[in-house]
Amino acid sequence: MKEIKYSKYDEVLYTQTLPNGFQIFVLPKPGFAKISAAMNVHFGSLDSEFMLGDRLIQQPAGIAHFLEHQLFDKKGYDVSQIFANNGADVNAFTSYTKTSYTMATTVNGYQNLATLVSFVTSPYFTDDNISKEKGIITQEIGMYQDDPENQLYVKTIQNMYSKTTLADDVAGSVESIQQITKNDLKLAYTSFYRPTNMNLFVTGNLAPEKVFEVVSQNFNSEVANEVGQHIYTKKIADLMPESNITTMHKPIFYPKFAIGIRGNDIVESKRTGLKYEIAVSMALDLFFAETATTYNQLFHQNLLDDSFNYEFENEVGFHFAILMGNADDPKQTITALKSVLTEINQKLPQMKNEFELQKKELIGNYLAMMDSENAIVSQFDNNDDFSSTIFDELSIINELNFTDFVTITQPFWQNASYTVTIVEP
């Protein structure tokens, strides 16, 4: 067992790697009522294409999300009921690059933790269950397709990363879901649900030694002969960005817009990459948060309203920002926003006071999150042999000075390409 001390915050993270390579991270929180955990697998929607040895494997889009759903189905029961009977909430989600299974409870902590580890590492695939799941996910996809904001987001991603697996919806399509077979699921599971490709993060009023013991006793996954290799980073990097404008029509009252900002600069990984992500996100806040001068100017000009939102996504191999919302005249709003975006690099060096205020606000937000078990779990990341916690992120924010902030963010804006999506009634 190793200890990572965060002395400034009086916290200690305990880690241990099982003989099979599975990593466990435990952050004890004495006196806290809730126990939260996430079991993470480095396998996401982008991995519908991967290498297995010297073979290129191509599976139907949406298989990672389908597999996430299938793991809840066991022989004669749904594992969600076991958690409910033991007083726990369980959930799961699939992103572009990972699948996470989460659990939260105030009772029976070790028992629920054992169930979490056991059900993720004990797949049960049958033709009947797979057929039933196809119907459920088909309905889910139909709901997404009826959601104009979801379609706006998905189409913007497709415009930025066409001809890559990033252009596929995380859930896949109705057509791709029907193609998934039991053998596809088994191959995806054995290729990526491997101990060395997974980890567990737990926080709450738990003893680290007991957590390690419970996990070790309930980890059931067998090790396959061949390891699935991620290839999406190379395929995305190889393709040039495409700038375009797409207009869709949906049964809506207000028109909607999205601006996709594809990053084409090279981003380092690990701690440097995390610092980059924090810096670019802060730059977006300085212009588009509700307290930002630019946002308020656009708001009072009736170019933006309360529906406006933005995000920045940074993963190994790709990074992008999206601005989206409602607008009476989307083209006028897009023109105004693009004018702001193209001037960010010129204006940032003159915004030292705004930066310092934003930094203080961000530090305050992180200090508040330290009292939330769910927030602590959700902020944990483990990728590319690098792990980061909420405390690591806060340390980076504290260290970030204005000069470095400007220098770090400039390449994103200098090299970015843009795409626009509009949804009209």
pLDDT(246) > 70? yes
Domain ranges of the chain: 2-233, 240-424
DSSP states of 376-409: HHHH-EEETTEEE-HHHHHHHHHH--HHHHHHHH
110-114, 226-230, 322-326: lowest mean pLDDT where?
A: 226-230
pLDDT at 223: 56
* Catalytic member of 68, 133, 149, 393: 68
Tens digits of residue pLDDT in 329-340: 999 999 999 999
Cα–Cα distance measured from residue 210 to residue 192, given in angstroms and rounded to the nearest whole number: 27
Active site residue 11: no
Tens digits of residue pLDDT in 10-22: 999 999 999 989 9
Residue 386: pLDDT band by 50, 70, 90 thresholds?
A: confident
Tokens of 94: 């699939």
Cα–Cα distance measured from residue 417 to residue 90, given in angstroms and rounded to the nearest whole number: 39
- In this structure, which CATH number among 3.40.50.970, 3.30.830.10, 3.30.70.270, 3.40.50.1370 belongs to the domain 240-424? 3.30.830.10
Cα–Cα distance measured from residue 355 to residue 347, given in angstroms and rounded to the nearest whole number: 12
E strands present in 10-132: 11-17, 23-28, 35-41, 49-52, 55-58, 73-74, 77-78, 88-94, 99-105
Tens digits of residue pLDDT in 134-156: 999 999 999 999 999 999 999 99
Q: Which of 276, 275, 272, 289 is nearest to 358 (CA)?
A: 289
Tens digits of residue pLDDT in 159-215: 999 888 999 999 999 999 999 999 999 999 999 999 999 999 999 999 999 999 999
Cα–Cα distance measured from residue 190 to residue 201, given in angstroms and rounded to the nearest whole number: 22
Name the pTM for this structure. Answer: 0.94
Q: At the topology level of CATH, where does 2-233 sit?
A: Cytochrome Bc1 Complex; Chain A, domain 1 (3.30.830)
DSSP states of 5-23: EEGGGTEEEEEEE-TTS-E
Tens digits of residue pLDDT in 338-385: 999 999 999 999 999 999 999 999 999 999 999 999 999 999 999 767
Cα–Cα distance measured from residue 425 to residue 421, given in angstroms and rounded to the nearest whole number: 14
Average pLDDT, the chain: 94
Helical spans, DSSP H, in 103-206: 109-120, 127-145, 148-160, 174-178, 182-192
Domains 2-233 and 240-424 equal at CATH topology level: yes
Host H or E run for residue 204: strand 198-204
